[in-house]
Chain A
Amino acid sequence: MRLTELFADDRFVITSEAGPPKGVDTSKMLEEVDLLLGKVDAFNVTDQQSSVMRLGSLAVSSLLKQRGAEPIFQLTCRDRNRIALQSDLLSAHVLGIENILCLTGDYVSLGDHPGAKPVFDLDSVSLIQTAKTLCEGQDLAGKELKGTPGFCIGAVVSPGADPLEPQVIKMENKLRAGAQFFQTQAVYDIDQFTEFMNQAEHLDTPILGGIILLKSAGMARFMNRNVAGVHVPEHLINRMEESKDKVATSVEIAAELVRGMKDMCQGVHIMALGWEKWVPDVLARAGL
C-alpha cells in the first residue's frame, strides 16, 4: 500500500520507525514492530542511522513486508553512488516495497566508521528525481528499463532549522523533483511548527510531524546540544526532570504534541527508540 492512497482518502497517517540492529539478530526489532502492527500505517526502516553500520534497510524493509507491516524504505546518499542507489531501488520494487524516503544522510564522521569514504554522488533532491525517473521507465543514463518500478516517494524537512527559509526552498525543489509527502525532524515547540506550516502552506503537500518520545531530561539536553534542528524547550525538560513517573510524563508530552499538531498537518511520524510499547498510549491519549 502506498501512503499516497491514505492521503487521497483524507486519512490522518501515522508512521513509526524500525531500527535495524547491529548484527543479524532481528528478534528484538521485530518484536517492537509487532507491538505496533495494526496501530500505525507504516514503518520507516532507517538506513545506517547516524552513520553507524548495521543490518541494511532494504533487507529489513523486505522482512517487514513479509510480516504484514508496511515499510518505508529509507535511502541516504552517503554510502552508495548512483549505480548502487538505482539498483537498490529496482531491488526494492521486486521485493514488493512501495514507499521510499530519500535523505542526504549524516556525514561519516558522526558514526562508528569515521574513516569511511563519504560518497554523496547524489543529494536528496537528485535522489528523488532519480526515483521518479526510474518510475517513468528510464535510468539516469537515459536507458529504457525492462519493466517499470512504482514508488510513493517521501522526503524530509527540518522545521526547527535556523534559518528556516533555505529548508523551505529546498522543500519546494524536492516537491518539484517528485516528492509526494514529507516527514519532519522531531518537533517539541508547537509555535515553531505552526510558523513552519505557515511558510510551507503554499506547497500543498502532505506533511507528517515528527515526534521523538522523551525518555529523560538528560536525553532532551543531549538532543539540544547535538541534534541539528531539534530544540526541546526548558519547560518540557523541567517536567521530565521533576516527574516521578518518566514514562507517564513522556507519553503525556507526546500526546500533547500530537494534539497540538494534528489539525495543522496530515499525519505524525513517531520515533519511539525502543519505547514502542508506549506508542499506543500516546495515540489513545491524543484521541487517535
Chain B
Amino acid sequence: MLVSELKPFDEILHSLDGESTIFLLGCHGCAEASHTGGEEEVRAMKTSLEEAGKTISSWTVLDFLCQKALIKTGLQPFKGQILASDSVLVMCCGVGVQAAAAAVDTIIHPACNTLSMGGAQGEWRGSERCEECGDCLLDFTGGICPITACTKSLINGPCGGAKDGRCEHQPDVRSCGWQLIYERLQKLGRLDKLAEIHTVRDHAKAEPPKALRSTTFWALEQAKE
C-alpha cells in the first residue's frame, strides 16, 4: 500500500496562494485507507478551504488515481468544472498526483506527503515515479517529480549537463527531468514556481519506520509462530 499523510494545512494553503477556485480530487485506493484522500477527508478539506475563503468548484473521489489510463475517463464528467478552476488539489500519493498532472493541463497541487510505497509502485507502472521522500515537491514542479525525473535528484533547477534535452547520464534513455519540468510550467504559464528556493531536504523524513517501507508480506514474516 502507498502510505501518505496530509501536508500541514498552512502549507497547502500557501500552495494555493493567488488562486480562488479549486477542484478537489481524492482517491478510493490507498489514500482512502491512509485517511488522507477518501470521501471523508475530501469533504473535510472542502470545509476547511471554504472557511479559508476558497471556492470549491466541485470534487470527486476516483478509484486508483495512480491508474493514469483510467483517470482521464473518470475526470471526463468534471471537465467543465476543472477548466473553470484555478487549480486541482490532489489528495493522494505522489504517483497519483503525477498521473493527474499528466491527464489535465492545469496546475496540480499535492495535498499529501508520500511516506512509503510499501514495495509497490502504484498502477502507473511505466517507471518509478515516487521515491517516498516524505516532503512532496510536486507543487513547485508542475506535477513532475524532480527526485525521480532528475538523475541527480536536484530540487533547485537544472544542472549544466543536459544536451539536446537529454541527461548527461545514459542520454539514450533519460530525458533531462528539469527540461520536462520547465516545459510543463511554461505551458501552464507558471514559470514563477521556479523562483522558489528550496533549502536542503530532510532525509530523515525519507526513513519511515520499517513497517511502512515493506509489504504486507513483511508483516506476515514478522508474525510470531
What's the A-B contact tally at a CB cutoff of 8 Å? 93
What residues of chain A lie closer than 8 Å to B191, measured between beta carbons?
A: 165, 169
Taking A107-B151, A107-B169, A173-B157 as contacts, is the C-beta distance between A228 and B197 under 8 angstroms? no
Q: Which of A109, A121, A123, A169 contacts B203 (CB 8 A)?
A: A121
Answer whether residue A214 sits at the interface, using C-beta atoms and an 8 A cutoff. no
**Beta-carbon contacts of B137-172 to A below 8 Å, as 1s and 0s?**
000000000000001111111111111100111100
Interface majority SS (helix, strand, loop, mixed), chain B:
loop
Which residue among B152, B158, B164, B169 has the maximum number of chain A CB atoms within 10 Å of its CB?
A: B152
* Cβ–Cβ contact B158 & A166, under 8 A: yes
Tell me whether B156 and A228 are in contact (CB under 8 A).
no
Q: Known interface pairs A107-B151, A123-B154, A228-B168. Does A169 touch B194 (Cβ–Cβ under 8 Å)?
A: yes
Q: How large is the interface on B (under 10, 10 to 19, 20 to 34, 35 or more residues)?
A: 20 to 34
- Interface presence of A42 (CB below 8 A): no
B69 to chain A, nearest CB (A): 31
Q: C-beta contact mask, A145-185 vs B, less than 8 Å → 1, else 0?
A: 00000000000111001110111011011001100000001
Interface centre among A104, A156, A177 (most CB of B within 10 A): A104
Question: Are B161 and A228 neighbours in the complex by a CB distance under 8 Å?
Answer: yes
Closest to A82 in B: B200
Contact of B182 among A77, A126, A163 (CB under 8 A): A163
Residues of A near B161 (CB, < 8 A) are 104, 106-107, 228
B166-186 CB mask vs A (1 if < 8 Å, else 0) is: 011110000000110010001
> Across the interface, do B156 and A126 meet the contact criterion of CB distance under 8 Å?
yes
Q: Are B168 and A106 in contact (CB-based, < 8 A)?
A: yes
Determine whether A129 belongs to the interface, using a CB cutoff of 8 Å to chain B: yes
3 closest Cβ pairs, A-B complex:
A170-B157, A125-B156, A158-B160
Q: List 6 A-B contacts (CB under 8 A).
A: A107-B168, A109-B169, A124-B159, A125-B197, A166-B158, A169-B194
